[in-house]
Amino acid sequence: MKAQFVADVGGTNIRLAQVVDGGISQVRKYLCNDYPSIGDAIRAYTQSFPQLQFNAGCIAIACPVDKDLIKMTNHHWQFSKAALKDELALDCLEVINDYTAISMSLPVLSAEQKVQIGGGQVQAGQNIAVFGPGTGLGVGHLTAVDDGWQCLDGEGGHVDFAPVDELDLAIWRFLNKKHGHASAEEVLSGRGLVQIYQALAEHFDKPALQTEPADITCLAIRGECELCEATLQQFCRVMGSFGGNLALNLATFGGVYIAGGIVPRFVEFLQRSEFRQRFEAKGRFQHYVQAIPTFVITEPDHGLIGTAAYLTQHFKG
């Protein structure tokens, strides 16, 4: 029996699933570090279904995909698309950026798979933006075309960090001194959360005791560390400013979505934060972005859902 697989590859995990009627089933997760190559990880999945003949697949991966040789940004895996297709004996192998996959999931997410932050109303068929703090910072845009949706890929996570208030400036100075440059990813990511914490500790002349993003987040949510709480508040503010910039870039009246592994852990904190105020704080264009809704994606397999949507739209075999 013929079957298709999809894979969502991040810096830490690879998730795999089968495509059934445009949706996904048999989802499994593997640690990237447990396998020497991506081909080994995919075979571990496909060989667990000996009754199926996999003839097509789509891989969403956290790095540029415009050349045949794929080199991951936040992991050591690299591979040739053509060679991997032959190695897995596939009729079709699509390799897309992970934020193309996430973007493709957005039109099909249900209300139960996302949480709205603030006001605004989705306008059907309008442009959509998504960004996601995680191991790095991914960014994607989606626009409607005649036969479905078209993703506008890029590396928006590496744009310059644009300070808005005095604490942002303290963070910018810290990053510029440390790296010689301050990108958005150095703020809106797991390591970014730690660097905000370190920058604020320096700014307020307090000891920096935490070194793990999960510890900073947990202590902030529980209200057990004033510096951690200030860190998470600033993280939310910066997300708001960054999301508002994406909304202005492409008139995203279909919504701005937050993906990634970090933010779903503190949705209630985000709702109480100044995220939405900073999203709307665009001077003369405040009224423009006020109409644009913002969401946190809470569906853990949204990357696979989008990869399946992409494969269904592009592979008719």
Q: Are residues 226 and 82 in the same domain?
A: no
* Same domain as 224, residue 121: yes
**Reported pTM:** 0.86
**Are 168 and 276 part of one and the same domain?**
yes
* 105-150 pLDDT per residue, tens: 999 899 999 999 999 999 999 999 999 998 889 898 999 998 889 9
Mean pLDDT over each residue of the chain, to the nearest integer: 95
- Listed in order, strand segments (DSSP E) in the chain are 2-9, 13-20, 23-31, 53-61, 69-71, 78-80, 92-97, 114-116, 128-133, 137-145, 148-152, 256-258, 294-297
Q: Are residues 149 and 28 in the same domain?
A: no
Q: Give residue 305's domain range.
A: 2-103+301-314
- CA-wise closest residue to 27 among 316, 317, 307, 312: 307
- Residue ranges of the binding site for ATP: 7-12
| Interval 34-86: pLDDT, tens | 999 999 999 999 999 999 999 999 999 978 898 999 999 878 999 999 999 99
Domain containing 30 — which CATH number?
3.30.420.40
Q: Specify binding-site residues.
A: 7-12
Overall domain count for the chain: 2
Do 77 and 195 lie in one domain? The reply is: no
Same domain, 74 and 140: no
* CATH, residue 190: 3.40.367.20
In a shared domain, residues 308 and 277: no
- 30 and 165 part of one domain: no
Judgement on whether residues 82 and 123 belong to the same structural domain of the protein: no
Claim to verify: residue 240 and residue 148 sit in the same structural domain: yes
Query: Do residues 270 and 235 touch, judged by C-beta distance below 8 A?
Result: no
Based on the domain organization, do 129 and 250 belong to the same domain? yes
Q: Are residues 70 and 125 in the same domain?
A: no
